[in-house]
Amino acid sequence: MTDTPPDTDPIARYRAVLEALDPRLRIASKLRAVFPLIEAQIDSGVPHAAVLDDLKAAGLPVQTSTYTTTLYRWRKAKRQAADETDQPRASVAEPSGSPTTKPSSPPLPAIQGRPNGIQTPGDLRKIRDMRIDLDALRREGLANRAKTSQDTKTQNDKE
């Protein structure tokens, strides 16, 4: 028997997760199931090569290219899911008369993610990924027109 308990042995944890899965699943699907464990190891400083060796010992031989591609896609999906929960869309209407009333927050801008200026290729990517709420943009335009017409009336009254 080993000196370390099975819950600290990464190979045993990988095996436990993999045994619970359907053996007909693709390698990428099996990898996605163990990625939370892999992320914990990587965060603690374990190199990717050691993780690949542990996966092989657990019964899941994975090519490096499959591992890196699947890890990249998994992290990207995780990041996008986190972004969506952090930035609620302004176009989602809440039912009127809802029993739980939230304190009113300032309305979200019609265009979210707008860079201040274009100085790097990253700024161009931000423009590509902007979220535009057409209803909010229309409301902003109407408010600006109303304000402009009031300012014009005020100036005409002064003259």
Residues 2 and 52 in one domain: yes
Q: What is the pLDDT of residue 115?
A: 62
State residue 107's pLDDT score. 54
DSSP class per residue in the chain: --SS-TTT-HHHHHHHHHHTS-TTS-HHHHHHHHHHHHHHHHHTT--HHHHHHHHHHTT----HHHHHHHHHHHHHHHHHHHHHHHS--TTPPPPTT-SSPPPP-PPPPSEES--SS--SHHHHHHHHT-EE-HHHHHHHHHHHHHHHHHHHHHHHHH-
* Domain-located, residue 93: no
Supply the pLDDT for residue 84: 81
Residue 99 lies in a domain: no
Provide the whole-model pTM.
0.49
Facing residues of 111 across strands?
132
pLDDT digit string (tens) for the chain, length 159 residues: 444 444 578 899 999 999 998 888 899 899 999 999 999 999 889 999 999 999 999 999 999 999 999 999 999 988 888 888 776 554 444 445 545 544 444 555 556 666 667 778 877 777 777 777 788 888 888 988 888 888 777 777 776
As for how many domains the chain has, the answer is 2
> Are 113 and 81 part of one and the same domain?
no
In angstroms, the CA 39 to CA 75 distance is: 10
100 domain residue, yes or no? no
Structure tokens at 119: 């100085």
Is the residue at 94 inside a domain? no
Domain boundary among the residues 53, 88, 123 is at: 88
Map tokens 């990898």 to a residue. 31
Is 101 part of a structural domain of the chain? no
**pLDDT score of 5:** 46
Q: Which residue is associated with the tokens 């609620």?
A: 88
Q: Is the same domain home to 26 and 84?
A: yes
Distances (CA, A) of 134 to 9, 34, 53, 94, 108: 53, 41, 51, 17, 12
- Confidence at residue 111, expressed as pLDDT on a 0 to 100 scale: 62
Distance CA 2, CA 54 (A): 16
pLDDT digits (tens, 9 = 90+) for 68-107: 999 999 999 888 888 887 765 544 444 455 455 444 445 5
Name the residue range of residue 134's domain. 108-159
Of the residues 56, 88, 120, which one is the last residue of a structural domain?
88
